[in-house]
């Protein structure tokens, strides 16, 4: 009789485990659609044309690394924003239009931001994420990095992706 009372709860547990393994029981989470706008760049130091060209290319690379980092995760699926005229950034596109374009391509989240050159050594930036369904800011991070080199910009991009991945952006 005692063995029956022990086996009954174990049997229920076994049935519960089997039910969780059936094909219909597992719920797959779809990746969240995220639009990553182009970032803005400000250089109040009055850099020469060659420096501006290099900074513009580094900025494009940073944004592409953020897109790639999010898209390579299981959590996010990057959708592409298109603006005419380009770039599609918070500083160059009307905010209401930018939000509308993100919604039109099916984005749940919109990532945007910018980098400002403080001097020859320091870059300062900000990245934000808006949950378009909840209509609220869900991420706001300041970043700063030393040196104006490809390596420094790449490190900043990796850091930003890591910060985005640490957060639960969809609540």
Q: What does residue 121 show for φ and ψ, rounded to 5 degrees?
A: -115, -30
CB 34 within 8 A of CB 77: yes
116 is written with which tokens? Answer: 């400002």
Position 23 scores a pLDDT of 46
pLDDT of residue 21: 41
Q: What is the pLDDT of residue 160?
A: 97
pLDDT given at position 66:
98
CB atoms within 10 A of CB 8: 10
Q: Supply angle C-alpha 51, 84, 81, rounded to 5.
A: 85
Other CB atoms within 10 Å distance of the CB of residue 66: 23
Residue 85 preceded by cis peptide, ω within 30: yes
Task: Round to whole Å and give the CA distance between 144 and 83.
Answer: 28
pLDDT value of position 68: 98
The matching CATH number, chosen from 3.40.50.10610, 1.10.1060.10, 3.90.550.10, 3.30.465.10, for 30-166 is: 3.40.50.10610
pLDDT of residue 58: 95
* pLDDT value at residue 47: 67
Give CA–CA dist 33/13, Å, rounded: 37
Q: How far apart are CA 30 and CA 116, in angstroms?
A: 35
What kind and span of H or E run contains 61? helix 49-71
| pLDDT averaged per 10 residues in sequence order, the chain, 171 residues | 42 38 54 97 78 90 98 96 91 94 97 92 95 97 93 96 95 81
């Amino acid at each position: 009789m005692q063995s029956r009372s022990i086996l009954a709860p174990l049997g229920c547990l076994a049935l519960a485990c089997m039910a969780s393994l059936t094909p219909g029981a597992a719920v797959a989470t779809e990746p969240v659609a995220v639009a990553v706008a182009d970032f803005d760049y400000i250089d109040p130091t009055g850099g020469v044309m060659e420096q501006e060209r290099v900074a513009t290319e580094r900025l494009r690379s940073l944004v592409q690394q953020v897109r790639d980092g999010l898209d390579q995760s299981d959590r996010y699926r990057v959708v592409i924003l298109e603006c005419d005229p380009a770039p599609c950034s918070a500083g160059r596109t009307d905010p209401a239009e930018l939000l509308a374009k993100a919604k039109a391509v099916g984005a749940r989240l919109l990532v945007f931001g910018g980098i400002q050159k403080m001097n020859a050594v320091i870059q300062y930036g900000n990245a934000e994420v808006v949950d378009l369904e909840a209509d609220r800011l869900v991420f706001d991070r300041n970043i700063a990095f030393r040196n104006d080199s490809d390596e420094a910009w790449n490190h900043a991009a990796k850091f930003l992706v890591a910060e985005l991945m640490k957060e639960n952006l969809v609540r």
